[in-house]
Amino acid sequence: MRRAVLQYHDAPTTDPFLLWFQRLDGSARPDLGLRLRAIITNARFNQNVRAESALQNTIAVLDCGLLDQREAGDSDLPLLVGDQIPHASGLGAEIFRSYAAYLGPFTEDR
């Protein structure tokens, strides 16, 4: 059984976040804080949607500079995606609200 577990972990990862992060790490490595925030953010996204969608959201949040802004609020959020939802304009506000709980400062006391 030990061998089977090791073989499982030795196999090339198919997790899109790990693959993306490794590529990110191999180029111009962002500062430590930003990488940590990206990990925490993606772990949170990963709870609600598929890994691909979680990564898409993490990249969107990263690209708009939100992870660099300590005081960013929900009005700064980009359009985020869920499993069943392609990038459809008009759905943004609802999706914003569903994720603002973890990104925004407004819900810290929840």
Q: Are 38 and 64 in contact (CB under 8 A)?
A: no
- Give the pair of three-digit tokens for residue 87: 């990038």
Task: Return d(Cα 78, Cα 63) in angstroms, integer.
Answer: 9
Among 10, 23, 89, 110, binds other proteins (CB under 8 A): 110
Among 4, 10, 12, 75, binds other proteins (CB under 8 A): 4
Among 39, 63, 65, 87, binds other proteins (CB under 8 A): 39
The percent helix, strand, coil of the chain (3-state, each to 5) is: 65, 0, 35
Total residues at the site for other proteins (CB under 8 A)? 57
- Residue 50 region, left (φ>0) first, then alpha (ψ -120 to 50), else beta? beta
Site for other proteins in 62-101 (CB under 8 A): 66-67, 69-73, 82-85, 91, 94-95, 97-98, 101
Provide the binding-site residues for other proteins, judged by CB under 8 A: 1-2, 4-9, 14-18, 21-22, 25, 32-33, 35-37, 39-44, 46-51, 66-67, 69-73, 82-85, 91, 94-95, 97-98, 101-105, 107-108, 110
